[in-house]
Amino acid sequence: MTVSLKDNERIDDLQRNGYRIIQNPKKFCFGMDAVLLTGFAHAKATDVLLDLGTGTGIIPLLMEAKYGCRRLTGLEIQPESADMAMRSVELNGLSEKIEIVTGDIKEAGSLFPPASFDCITCNPPYMIGKHGIVNPQDSKAIARHEIFCTFEDVVRQTAKLLRPGGHFFLVHRPFRLAEIITLMTKYKLEPKRMQLVYPYVDKEPNMVLLESVRGGNPRMTVEKPLIVFRSPGEYMPEIQDVYGF
């Protein structure tokens, strides 16, 4: 299918099912964190999935490509990003399966029925507040800083929308791990699985992948570390598998 591109937009190959995505490098392009989250997550073909803060729709597209899922929804507050996501869905002929909704994460509980999703994914803003931001309306700042929502907003809405026994998949930064686990348990999203991501084997981790279950029993598995690079520019085999190389 052919879709129109706007100024500075381009079409990138996702290396999965022939799917492609529309991006604007002058605004914000998806990163490795979103791709690693879809590799860490799991879903069934019968699942209904919601991606909070979907940006240009990378996570719903990759989750559909990898796991199928019966229905996928991406929620995005920035109209320009949501528009790109909708056009990417059309580009891949997935309009009957993936829906992009323009809206605020803080209001997600009123946008969708309670306990209506089997899986929820989120690649949220990592940085607290607006410190160091020149323009808080800049799309990159919104994606990286908690300008429109906090992590507690994400967890609160996830707890409302996830069915009992449903799975929440998250990628975040290790420096906020204590806060993340505390908030998850506060809202009865029991952490069940965790994996730390290291850029190199001798460096500190710079990402953490987490899976929690609504109403799950206390017990968490810590998976072996995920190393991204063997050497500069050379991915480890596990990363190549996630990307589909």
pTM value surpassing 0.85: yes
- The DSSP secondary-structure symbol of 202 reads T
Give the model confidence (pLDDT) of 66-92 as tens digits: 999 999 999 999 999 999 999 999 999
Question: Is the residue at 27 inside a domain?
Answer: yes
Pick from 19-28, 37-46, 52-61, 163-172: least confident: 19-28
**What is the average pLDDT score of the chain?**
91
Residue 137's domain spans which residues?
A: 10-243
Q: Are 13 and 91 within 8 A, CB to CB?
A: no
Q: Give me the residues paired with residue 119 across strands.
A: 49, 167
Give the model confidence (pLDDT) of 150-162 as tens digits: 999 999 999 999 9
Specify the residue for token string 């480890």. Answer: 236
Question: Is the residue at 145 inside a domain?
Answer: yes
- Pairing state of beta strands 189-198 and 221-222? parallel
Specify the residue for token string 């190389």. Answer: 245
Give me the mean pLDDT over the 10-37 stretch. 93
User: From residue 40, how far is each of 216, 226, 227 by CA, in Å?
Assistant: 19, 10, 13
Question: Is the residue at 154 inside a domain?
Answer: yes
Give the model confidence (pLDDT) of 215-225 as tens digits: 999 999 999 99
Question: Is the residue at 204 inside a domain?
Answer: yes
Type of residue found at 95: S
Type of residue found at 33: D
Share of the chain above pLDDT 90, in %: 83
Q: What is the pLDDT of residue 134?
A: 46
Question: Is the residue at 1 inside a domain?
Answer: no
Residue 181 belongs to domain with CATH number: 3.40.50.150
Question: Is the residue at 5 inside a domain?
Answer: no
Q: What DSSP string describes 105-169?
A: GGGHHHHS-TT-EEEEEE----B-TTTT-S-TTSHHHHHHB-SS--HHHHHHHHHHHEEEEEEEE
Q: What is the pLDDT of residue 148?
A: 66
Question: Is the residue at 109 inside a domain?
Answer: yes
Specify the residue for token string 């929804």. Answer: 73
Q: How many domains does the chain have?
A: 1
Separation CA 63–CA 66 (nearest Å) = 5
Question: Is the residue at 3 inside a domain?
Answer: no
